Amino acid sequence: MSIEREVAIGLEVAVDDSQGLSAAVQGGADRIELCSALDLGGLTPSYGLMREASECGRPVYAMIRPRSGDFCYTKAEIAVMCDDIAAARLCGLQGVVFGALDARNQLDAEVMTHLMGAAHGLGVTLHRAFDMINDWRPALELAIDLGVERILTSGGAASAPAGVAQLSKMLQAAAGRIIIMPGAGISALTIGQLMHLPLREVHASCSGPILPSDKAIAMGFASKDAKRTDAARVRALKSALLH
């Protein structure tokens, strides 16, 4: 059974290059999550890409993740993240996306507080590091206390449709105090599995395969599984969110 909505569901699209950025805007994305290396879950974009995105006509949140792997960072890595937040601010972006865990796989209150201070005045999304947390309820309360704007989460599952039961619990626990934004595995074909939830926003890459040359793959310059945001896929998901 569908639920009545007072406002449309916002669509955030993750992109990692200029062509993907253009496709997301053309397809009707409401907000951009700007990254590099989406095949690794998203890393910090270049300064040049941030500059370009600042003129795209959509709110842009830059991923602040200095490397792939876990989310337990050294002091040097935290310093890099703060400098990257400063770069996003300098470029005129509207927000940043980050998360930091401790050795127990809990949200690291000290590091998150430090990063929130660096991001003062910018919107902040807590990314899917949240899905690595052993006990999400205290992490949710900490994120709210810190002033995080939204949490991007798949409900602790490999995809948001698979985590729909936990997403429902998170939305209930959040009680409107913070945005719970489902992401991972969301497309026009799968969004119907989530539409019974009281959604405010969803996150997707809306990407399709691209075909690098065989030589580029053989030389290690490209992945045979490379993907890029596709305007038609963005448009299709945007349409599905209206029904």
pLDDT at residue 1, rounded to an integer:
36
Q: Is the pTM of this model over 0.85?
A: yes
Sign of torsion over alpha carbons 24, 150, 41, 233: negative
Tell me the pLDDT of the chain (243 aa) as tens digits.
344 445 689 999 999 999 999 999 999 999 999 999 998 899 999 999 999 999 999 999 999 999 999 999 999 999 999 999 999 999 999 999 999 999 999 999 999 999 999 999 999 999 999 999 989 999 999 999 999 999 999 999 999 999 999 999 999 999 999 999 999 999 999 999 999 999 999 999 999 887 777 777 677 776 777 788 999 999 999 999 987
pLDDT at residue 6, rounded to an integer:
55
In the sheet with 123-126, reading across from the earlier edge strand, the strands are: 179-182, 150-153, 123-126, 95-98, 60-63, 31-34, 10-15, 201-204
> Looking at domain 10-240, which CATH architecture does it have?
Alpha-Beta Barrel (3.20)
Name the token pair of 14: 């993750």
Q: Residue 78: which of 101, 58, 46, 95 has the closest Cα?
A: 101
pLDDT at residue 221, rounded to an integer:
74
